[in-house]
């Protein structure tokens, strides 16, 4: 079984997120999503989420491409996750291009093109107008 992992906040879930998850799943049989916790988002990313971790987790678990949701609690856990979950392919959006190349010694690293016309940041900005 080929295992794939991706990371993100997945707040205000939209079709760009679904596109990413669908394309990530094509790299293997089992997709793990490491979902940023509320504490990690606030303390490290300086983001406040509209939906709580539990609500975002519940939404992700309802998506057919997602097999497992785990908490992302810090920047450093990626290598330990790759090892613990026997990951074959690490997938991220291309806005992170090159940032996770250090994982190539343990698994394939793929950067997927983002869906250009949608982002959570854009949705939040549009709602403030």
pLDDT of 77-115, one tens digit each?
Answer: 999 999 999 999 999 999 999 999 999 999 999 999 987
**pLDDT score recorded for residue 48:** 87
pLDDT at 4 over 80: yes
The model's pTM is 0.90
What average pLDDT does this structure show over 3-10?
Answer: 97
Measured distance CA(8)–CA(35) in Å, rounded:
5
Q: Token pair 């990371």 is at which residue?
A: 7
* Catalytic (active site) residue 2: no
Measured distance CA(29)–CA(94) in Å, rounded:
22
pLDDT at 23 over 80: yes
* Cα-Cα-Cα-Cα dihedral sign, residues 66, 70, 74, 79: negative
Measured distance CA(106)–CA(21) in Å, rounded:
21
* Cα distances (Å, whole numbers) of residue 100 to 18, 53, 115, 120: 22, 24, 20, 22
Of 26, 45, 48, 83, catalytic: 45
What average pLDDT does this structure show over 115-125?
Answer: 69
Q: φ and ψ at 125, to 5 degrees?
A: -65, -45
Of 2, 25, 26, 47, catalytic: 47
Which residues pair with residue 36 across a beta bridge?
A: 72
Q: Which helix (H) or strand (E) holds 34?
A: strand 30-36
* Catalytic (active site) residue 83: no
The lowest-confidence range among 39-48, 55-64, 71-80 is 39-48
Which residues pair with residue 32 across a beta bridge?
A: 5, 68
Which residues pair with residue 34 across a beta bridge?
A: 7, 70
């Amino acid at each position: 079984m080929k295992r794939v992992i991706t990371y993100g906040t997945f707040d205000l879930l939209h079709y760009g997120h679904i596109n990413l998850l669908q394309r990530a799943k094509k790299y293997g049989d089992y997709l793990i999503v490491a979902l940023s916790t509320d504490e990690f988002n606030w303390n490290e990313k300086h983001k406040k989420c509209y939906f709580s971790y539990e609500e975002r987790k519940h939404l992700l678990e309802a998506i057919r491409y997602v097999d497992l949701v785990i908490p992302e609690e810090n920047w450093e856990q990626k290598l330990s996750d790759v090892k613990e979950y026997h990951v074959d392919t690490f997938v991220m959006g291309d806005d992170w291009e090159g940032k996770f190349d250090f994982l190539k010694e343990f698994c394939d690293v793929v950067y997927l093109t983002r869906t250009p016309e949608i982002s959570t940041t854009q949705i939040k900005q549009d709602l403030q107008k």
